[in-house]
Amino acid sequence: MNRTFKRGGIHPPEEKHYTREKPIENLPLPGKVCIPLNQNLGAPSQPVVEPKQAVKTGQVIADPAGFVSSPVHASVSGVVKSIGYRRTSVSPCSLCIEIESDGQDTWVDGVRLEADAIDFSRPETFLESIRAAGLVGMGGAAFPTHVKLSPPEEAPVDTLIVNGIECEPYLTADNRLMLEYPGKILQGVLAMKAVLGVGRAIIGIEDNKPQAIAAVHEAVGKTPGVEVVALKTCYPQGAEKQLIKAILDREVPPGKLPMHVGAVVQNVGTAFAVFEAVARKKPLVERVMTVSGPSIRDPKNLRVRIGTPLKDVIEFCGGAREDLGKLIMGGPMMGKALRSADVPVLKSTSGLIFLDRASSLSQPESECIRCGRCVRACPQGLVPGEMARMSEAGKFELLADALDCLECGSCQYDCPSNRKILHLLRLAKNEYRELQKEKKSA
């Protein structure tokens, strides 16, 4: 039997049939891009260009503002039209750089788009290439990759885990990357393995992706220190703590990180981006995303430039159907519902999901019946229903345990009373953090 994590989890409908068999297509070059400077977890980058300045594709347009930060690059060549605050999917007010494309896609000097292999003779240069390329976690967390690959000496790491799970319903971008670029993903894995100085890398893939498992197995072959592991399909198998438990049988303690149990987890999309950064010196200016759901006319897997207006993506996929009820950036479990498509694609944009009215209608909420289903579903062993009640009552100072919530939504999905548990737990996390900040500053 394939491995999995030991506690909680759910099995929502996969809905991957819309795009599972659809190869990655390139979205045509956008006429303009709006590139936010807060695309990574940590400090936003600071602009280093000015309006009316000509830029090339891959040119740095914003420098990192600290160690936990990443540079931002122009995703098209053209002219900087403006630098100002715009609405994005992650913030109602983000500093953005708008570039009008010249249609030429002229790349900055040094990028080698045709390079097909990493030169492993100088692994000491890999980390700087990754940092300079502005890589962040492509699975959605957007944590700067160079930071994750630089664990402190007091937290020795022995294993790199590569996440090919993609357990969110509808999303198939990682699956297509594994099918179409398994050799390049392997090279990215080996580069990260060299940076970390570990002897073992394990690529975990859920068993609902047999073709991807076969493709990656074939690419890996007898490569020393690299293993492919098939895992049982169960949501949220792709969460870091659950993946570590399933693969290494190690428990990440509350308040701790994977490195504290000797592991670093990176996404397969990140591994592909590492290959491009190291082999091609190519900055992170585009990503693969899934456009799917019952209310988009032509679902696709697309390679899209960062900063592209979502309206361009939607138009290329034939437009939304008349029965559109909800538009979600990311997956339907952990993604964010959008009020408008007037926002840009980010480094962390894994998907755009179009749900029809029937499937997106909110069911009437009723009182908690204390059935315990949210407890059984929680992969972290929390008591979500009780924590949600405390959040409603404003007892945030008692909700330190909320910090261990993955925000996976398993509790809310399984709740027969349709309680808005996830919203209340997110509120509790934010309010508890604010209370702790106030105590420190007092």
Residue 242: closest CA among 251, 230, 233:
251
pLDDT at residue 372, rounded to an integer: 96
pLDDT at residue 167, rounded to an integer: 96
Distance CA 166, CA 177 (A): 11
pLDDT at residue 40, rounded to an integer: 87
pLDDT at residue 1, rounded to an integer: 62
Q: Helix, strand or coil for residue 237? A: coil
Residue 393: closest CA among 361, 359, 368, 358:
368
Alpha carbon separation from 285 to 105, 120, 169, 217, 264 (Å, rounded): 12, 24, 26, 29, 24
Distance CA 144, CA 137 (A): 6
pLDDT per residue rounded down to tens, the chain (442 residues) = 678 998 999 999 999 999 999 999 999 999 999 999 999 888 899 999 999 999 999 999 999 988 899 999 999 999 999 999 999 988 888 999 999 999 999 999 999 999 999 999 999 999 999 999 999 999 877 899 999 999 999 999 999 999 999 999 999 999 999 999 999 999 999 999 999 999 999 999 999 999 999 999 999 999 999 999 999 999 999 999 999 999 999 999 988 999 999 999 999 999 999 999 999 999 999 999 999 999 999 999 999 999 999 999 999 999 999 999 999 999 999 999 999 999 999 999 999 999 999 887 678 899 999 999 999 999 999 999 999 999 999 999 999 999 999 999 999 999 999 999 999 999 999 999 999 999 888 7
Please report the domains of the chain, with CATH numbers, ordered by start residue: 29-101 (2.40.50), 117-280 (3.40.50.11540), 286-360 (3.10.20.600), 373-441 (no CATH)
